Amino acid sequence: MNILQDHKRTIMAGFVLTAILIGIASATGGGLSSDQLFGAVARWGHLLAGVTWIGLLYYFNFVQVPSLGGVSADTKADLFKEGSIVRRALFWFRFAAMFTVLFGLLLLMGLWKQGGAAAISTDIMIGATFGIIMWVNVAFIIWPNQKKVIGIVKASADEKAAAGKKALMASRINTLLSIPMLFFMASSAHFPIFN
């Protein structure tokens, strides 16, 4: 199948399949009203981007960083060059973080529109707060320092080592925060803890 040979085609096919299934639901009496459509797209975008973001966060922390510990400087240079797996993963990582937060903020605005502060549970606010802290770490600590580590920004060996440590600590903080963040995001809709 041609669509499975290229990741971009596979992704597009997934969107097309989703649209077909929504069309079938609408044609058979189900589907979404126009009022529900905005919230559904925001939630779907939040979930897709969030799965990508957290999946890559865990990939970096559980797979890539431990694996690179014993790798030579020459091998790291190859792994960090343009078009490498590291650069591709960081591209998807930072944009997934950004879109997760943007779609999440749209969801919060929708909740606010439905019922003000009363519509926004403590559980969702805990999850959202941790998610925003995590995004700040990505945008202002991890990515600026990773640009030095992978050679996008010129840096000496000592500067690269220091930048790597800063990025790693922010990434580990994000890993720590992701666990309660995911719990409270899920609990807000399925098993509220605080409300």
pLDDT in tens, 157-188: 999 999 999 999 999 999 999 999 999 999 99
Same domain for 176 and 139, yes or no, is yes
The number of folded domains in the chain is 2
Instruction: Specify the pTM.
Output: 0.92
Same domain for 8 and 56, yes or no, is no
Same domain for 55 and 142, yes or no, is yes
Q: Kindly tell me if the per-residue pLDDT of 195 is higher than 80.
A: no
Give just the sign of the alpha carbon dihedral 71, 73, 74, 77: positive
In a domain? residue 146:
yes
Same domain for 40 and 109, yes or no, is yes
Give the Å distances, CA to CA, from 25 to 31, 33, 39, 45. Answer: 5, 12, 17, 20
Same domain for 98 and 125, yes or no, is yes
Same domain for 52 and 143, yes or no, is yes
The mean pLDDT value of the chain amounts to: 94
- The tens digit of pLDDT for each residue in 46-62 reads 999 999 999 999 999 99
- Containing domain of residue 159, as a range? 34-190
Lowest mean pLDDT among 8-17, 68-77, 160-169: 68-77
